[in-house]
Structure 1
Amino acid sequence: MILIREATEADNEALQQLNREAPMRGNLTIRVERIPDFFAINRRIGPFKTMVAETGGRIAGVLTIARHPAVLEGKVQEIGVIRDIKIHPDFRGSTALFRLLYTFLQYALNQKWNILYATALKGNARVISLMGGRAGLPSLVPAGHFIQFNFFPKRRYKGTTRYQIITEEPSDDLLAFFNAWYSRYKFGPVISAESLHDSVVLSAWKNNVRHASIVLQDVSNFRQNVVEDWSFTTGLVIRLWQFFHMFLPLPLPPRKGKPLRCLYVRYFAATEGTACALASLMTRARKMAWDGRYTFLSAGLHYRDPLLKIFRKHPSIPARLYAFILSLEDNNASARCISGDILFNDFTLI
């Protein structure tokens, strides 16, 4: 019999083991480690509840829902973010996932949350199928996909004469710059000084005007991406990379069983008509990834984001993340409206 209960700190090691047994599959199959604390990443989002499916003393699955402030229609609202959807391979044919999703639907209704938001990697077909309304669950509205770019670090950087690239500390002016930019997104973040803690902010200035900024962050102190496998095409690239790395100055290549060293572009913003300033910042960030001996500089954008043309200019190994929305109060009318717009997703929190 499968029992659904709230997770406790005592479940930390069992949940770590579940992560090892249920990797995220894609061009790179990644096992997400959360050493030393499984729950630390959820605390970064907001108040959360983690539930586990347990049977015979074993944890068969886990799911988290977190309350998160996000920008919708230019206003800050509380939404429910569905996370940590993991089912142990031994229980994938069971009702564990259905029971977890149903439990959280009831919880969201009791909390009077209207909007629920979830993402799933392309390879997580079981989760995607249930999000389509199977097994008696309400249908979540597909909201397109995000492209996660894993950019190759850049050894040489000539700089730019068009903009002055500087490192900034958090300020009211900087926070206003980011929040004005993200007001145009659905699920845009609400940036505060705390949001920029343990980060590096790069900005492109010209004539005493800030034209673009990016926030870089290393999250390896609470999340580690361990490579388990890769697709055939990606494997060809990586094997060549590993070979030439032995005698050429190339970034550290991925290796199976080893954590990836990733530097994340957590936030980005640009003034209207000066997206080229963002391109200069991305080139500088790739150089910083090289200097820090990272394997990738990672950034994610919605497939409708007009800034994609800037990010696609840089060589990368892409991954795809699908988005789903449910609005409980109006039979998904709000969800369908949101799904037609440009969404934001914080890739440091996956």
Structure 2
Amino acid sequence: MGSLLGLFLVIQIVSGLFLTMHYASNIEVAFDSVSKTIRRDSNYGWVFRSIHANRASVFLALIYLHMGRRIYYKRYGNLHTWSVGVVLLALSILTAFLGYVLPWGQISFWGATVITNLMTAIPIWGRALVTWVWRRFSVDNAALNRFYTLHFLVPFIIRVMALVHLVVLHEEGSGNPLGVFSSSFKIFFWPYFGVKDILGALFVLSLFLGIVFLAPDIFRDPDNFYKANPMVTPVHIKPEWYFLFAYAILRCIPNKGIGVFALVLSIVVFFFLPWVGGVSYLPTVAYQIVVWLWVANFFLLTWLGGCPVKDTFTHLAQVSGFLYFSLIILFV
């Protein structure tokens, strides 16, 4: 799984470098630079754009699978390795959000407005921080330039953190599903693990290229094909699918400050697993059932985050959000 993440990180950086040559970070021309210059006027621009956009979904899905497998097998005990991995998750979500704003479609603009406005929940400095990000009374050209700069820089920080992740992994040693650490059970990396990684890469790349060429817009919101219009609010503002579970938790809480705290906690809670892991005395089968219930609840939250704001979905999200944290407490 780690080798796949490294492969897709390289693909993302290379495709992003080609796209940045044609993108214009100005609210007047940003939408046209993506929909016309990149997708129509540049040779294979639509391919690079589709690779770059859909790779984010595959990359986050692989991160979730990577972390989920470690949780399932209780292999989150290496404090430094796990903590750096959670930082990589947070940086990846941040980078994906910043990139989602750049096409400057309807959902890009209103999503940026909603998410950045959450900073007003920060005591004392919240309002000043939002004003600094916006520079004016709403998301404008200055904010787009800031998002573009950060979207370009953060992937290089992710690269550095990935190297740190590898270093601490080799310092502390990796685990395995059986929990065996004896040197007598170790085998050569090649050809056993090497062939496994190559076959896994070929399989995932086949699925990825199938999405790129056959369904390039499957993860995109239809409203984002319209240019940003501050005077028209979309019926339903939602982020990309990989952020919907946290968005559902945020939206189901009527208090803004508590909602933002719960949103942040939905990611930060993973930092505590190495510290409190092993406290639970659940039998193995019960532990696995709890983990699978948590995974099912995660998918339910993701679905609820994409649903419109209605009482039924809000109440269901409140129950699901409560279960999200309760089940984590159970299986640690």
- Pick the TM interval, shorter chain: under 0.3
Q: TM-score w.r.t. structure 1 length?
A: 0.23
The structure that is helix-richer by fraction is 2
Q: TM-score w.r.t. structure 2 length?
A: 0.24
